[in-house]
Amino acid sequence: MSKVTFRKAVKRYGNFTALQPLDLDIREGEFLTLLGPSGCGKTTTLRLVAGFIQPTEGSVYIGDEDVTGKPPQKRGIGMVFQDYALFPHMTIEENIGFALKERGASAGEIKTRVWDLLQLVELPGVKDRYPTELSGGQQQRVAVARAVAHTPRVLLMDEPLGALDLKLRESMQIELRNIQKSLGITTIYVTHDQIEAMNMSDRIAVMNEGVLEQIGSAEELYDTPKTKFVADFIGQINLLPVTGAEQRSDHAVAGFNGSEIKVVMPAERRVPTGSAVLGVRPEQLTIVPKETAVNGANRLDGQIMSTRFVGNVIKIEVGIGMAQTFVVDMHPSAVAGLTAGAEVGVVWQPESGFLLED
């Protein structure tokens, strides 16, 4: 088990910068997810740890060892690939024992280890089969077993659940997380699926256009996103362009369509100096009759455009002027009379909103 550290690591391809200078500390035994849309640099970051590519500048450390320039064979890591990358001409036993054989383990050692690992991934009795004879989920477990067989210092996973259907993906998320915990192995996981990231990770590093936007636990990213991108990418949010944002004594204010909006943010958060957006989550909003006095809370009046039933909540879209809408999550029991066309007020507490740089 080792920590992984990036020090000012940059990756450029000609004029294109795939990864802007990255400083990142991944802790020992941690499950860290690199999350972002395609082309955000998350796979580049993973491949820098793997050694498939080398940084243009800066360094990568595994444990206390500077592995910059070292080939993948000598890094002592394991990896699960998106397409599983199981060797089709080898049996499951030969696949899982691959790394051990390369390290000169005896046939007996390999046999015992493979048996243990097949118990761990709950696939006893498949050792003599070939990968094509297993289902996608089973192949995925074998790929995990192969990646941890030689007790690597770090486990890398590149969108390993992408090819599975939704139900299987959810159960595999829990299972992968349990395997990782039982082995206590430092894991770097790449995905573009924020739910998956939130389900599995100790911490999530959100990336966009080659830049690490923010790193933190799922709660931190959800409750206190530092950038508009993170706010938008993690969970659902209403983002409202506001004007004249400024800090007053104990709260901040900003203007929208002639109304003043009050925002109370934790002391460490600054009001942006340039153009700003107000962020507020749909579940923090409630709907009241139009022009209700709200006593210290914020209220914007508007008209219901549509309502959508999604199971646990009803999503109500309210037009609030200037071609902007707010989505409000309401409990299905509290929506009597809230139909498209109704004139209403949308209300939220000053503590629920935050101001972000646009």
Partner 1 sequence: MTVRWDLLLIPSFLFTFILLSVSQTLFLEGSFYKDLGLGRTGDTLDLVNYVRVFTDGFYLTTLWITVKVSALATICTLVFSFPVAYVIARMRSSWGMILLSGIVVSTFITIVIKVFGIIIIFSADGWLNQFLMSTGITTEPYSIIGTQEGVVIGLMYFTLGFGVLTLYSVVQTIPTSLEEAAEIHGASRPRMFRRVILPLAMPGLVAGGLMVFNMCMGAFTSAALLGGGKVFTLPVLIQRTIMMEVKYSMAGTLAAVLLVAVILINVLSIILIRRMHFARGVLA
Given the rule CB under 8 A, which residues bind partner 1?
Answer: 50-52, 71-73, 75, 77-79, 81-83, 85-91, 98-99, 102-103, 130-132, 146-147, 150, 156
- Strands of 276-280's sheet, edge to edge? 259-263, 252-256, 238-247, 276-280, 354-357
Buried b (16+ CB within 10 A) or exposed e, 79-96: bbeeebbbeeeebbbbbb
Please, what is the minimum distance in Å from the beta carbon of residue 19 to partner 1?
A: 18
Q: Which is nearer to partner 1, 156 or 197 (CB)?
A: 156
Q: Which is nearer to partner 1, 2 or 238 (CB)?
A: 2
**Nearer to partner 1 (CB atom), residue 71 or residue 332:** 71
Smallest distance, Å, CB 71 to partner 1? 7
Q: How far is the CB of 51 from partner 1 (least distance, A)?
A: 7
Least spacing, CB of residue 119 vs partner 1, in Å: 21
Find the angle CA(312)-CA(332)-CA(353) to the nearest 5 degrees. 75
CB of 162 to partner 1, least distance (A): 13
With respect to partner 1, which residue has the nearer C-beta, 159 or 301? Answer: 159
Amino acid at 234: I
Q: Which of 80, 81, 91, 77 is nearest to 123 (CA)?
A: 91
Helices (H), the chain: 42-50, 92-96, 98-102, 107-120, 136-148, 166-183, 194-200, 218-223, 228-233
Q: Quick one: 103 or 270, whose CB is closer to partner 1?
A: 103
Question: In the complex with partner 1, which residue's Cβ is closer, 113 or 150?
Answer: 150
* Per-residue tokens: 167: 């139900």
| CB 252 to partner 1: min, Å | 49
Q: Are strands 186-191 and 154-158 parallel, antiparallel or unpaired?
A: parallel
Nearest CB to partner 1, comparing residues 86 and 240: 86
Which residues touch 77 (CB under 8 Å, ≥6 apart)? 49, 50, 62, 152, 153, 154, 155, 156
C-beta separation of 6 from 24 below 8 A? yes
CB of 63 to partner 1, least distance (A): 17
Q: Is 50 helix (H, G, I), strand (E, B) or coil?
A: helix
Contact of 4 with 62, CB cutoff 8 Å: yes
Nearest Cα neighbor of 139 from 82, 64, 54, 211 is 82
Instruction: Tell me the C-alpha to C-alpha distance, in Å, between residue 184 and each of 2, 151, 172, 349.
Output: 10, 10, 18, 42
Nearest Cα to Cα of residue 160 among 134, 132, 194, 137: 137
Q: 269: which 2 tokens?
A: 């958060």
- Shorter beta-carbon distance to partner 1: residue 147 or 252: 147
Least separation, in Å, of the C-beta of 89 and partner 1? 5
Cβ of residue 102: shortest distance to partner 1, in angstroms?
4
Give whichever of 101 and 262 is closer to partner 1, judged by the CB atom.
101
